Structure 1
């Protein structure tokens, strides 16, 4: 009603009322301008009356049950099966303007944190994002490193398997966040790239990649890292991406540790058609300085095939080859992991999962049954 009144007033007050010669087109332009101003006024009044109108909330969580087996020859069944509220995560965002926004992610792992408790409370993301142009963005703060598939998209309803795959736990290592700045550009036709300068890992004299995450918690920052990614999604159903990261010293130039440079290269291809999705992924770290170990090369590869029968049911099989001591062709630590399972989506954002995982070792002295498991889980996002 208010809009009609304004338009009527515009017609009555317009030069057309006094000068019949004015064109209908000019009058229409004035009406459109006034209507736009009215809509803007309505939005401003709405934002003023609702201070939370620019706030966005979300989150996800998952609970797992793991049943383990162990060959009697090596000591019988593993002592404990396990049920775990693996993680609960909340997202909070705020739009300062149409071009400047804030995003954060807070996670509680394993239900309880504190002295002697298994869990942690973690700030995984907290950054400002600015649309610098129509097709470029700048992130500043604490963000997920642009590497792999799961590291940036890991809500449980988006992937198969109760647990995240081993490649993206031990080699990537998801979930992996750092602090710094990242510039992203959409080149059109499905081609994008990201370039990030950020904090780095700190192995503190060790060799395990996952243990090197500092999580931006009073993180040593004597040496930083740089990551670049290029991605192509220009063909329906196809996702191609490759990332490279370089760190000058994964021991952060700490006194008493050796300087060890590191380079990570990751690439993956995923194609979906008629319910079938095929995924191939490879990742490899090359280090220079792990003297007296076979850890200078750590690598993994993954092959996954899934079929989505309908909106509710999907099945998958996955094979991984993991070698975290690959230098010199060492096979003593090489693992072959096979996982089969099913996802049931109650609704698109709530999923029940079940899988069977078989872990074999090339080293005949290892217990091939020690890490075999049957897993159940439920996950959600909102």
Structure 2
């Protein structure tokens, strides 16, 4: 053994992550480091016997995903890291991140190497952060509509009183009415600027994509919106798929897109109107429909909706202002996720926005033979 080979073996043995080399033709490990015992609770030297039981611990929702990437790996086409879950009875599932390596030697022998890291703590931290952000953003949107509506009403009352007051009028009363009108207008503007700033800040941060159950992560903001429907003055409902559907999402950015679309629906739907969100599976995608029975969008304006500073922008029914950036940013974020967004609308009948994003795996594919052999 060369000094270099000995150095790398010593380095692998000292690692706190699982390092391994698997002979694809022989269907067996030829090297596993000592971290296997601590990280996977295995017995060193028994890894080939223990492999079938280890694979049985894969989360059922990850099987198609693992099969897809196993096929790519065995063909030397896999360069991305992969995250999978292992189940243990009575314990929270563990998250592992695999960094793969592929080599075909001069004799045609294929070796699959890699590093397996336990990232459970990081994943749970991320899940909690995403949960907090989803609730925060939905709550901010509810409060912004509720507070904006109250301030707009005060502004309109002040305007009405100013017009109806007899002339001559007490100068101090007129001044107070103007102050009330101006303060209400500025308050509405400040509230919307706060929400827009939150959306812009989220959109301009780095994309952090994780494979997630779309229904599970969208349930959180949708629950918040449904809880606040009485404050919003609308009938709000949503539906989610019965089975998990996985996609690669930046959860914070994508939930902001959903909330922005719901916010637009609320702006242009009269009080006591209906707004709904439906999440459903497609053949290779996830579809999200945001539906309202509001005032709709004129056909001439629909081609311009997703342009920056679009000429299709207009104030909401309660005087809500708009920057003309919201739908353009939604389109950008959806496209970052390799998806698409479209609109169908009929004036005075309502609008439906549809977002489609690809699933993270091709469902219904057979598990490749190589993976079946490793389970024997």
TM range (shorter): under 0.3
Give the alignment's TM-score, normalised by structure 1.
0.22
Higher relative contact order (CA 8 A, sep 6+): 2
Counting helix residues as a fraction of each chain, which structure ranks higher? 2
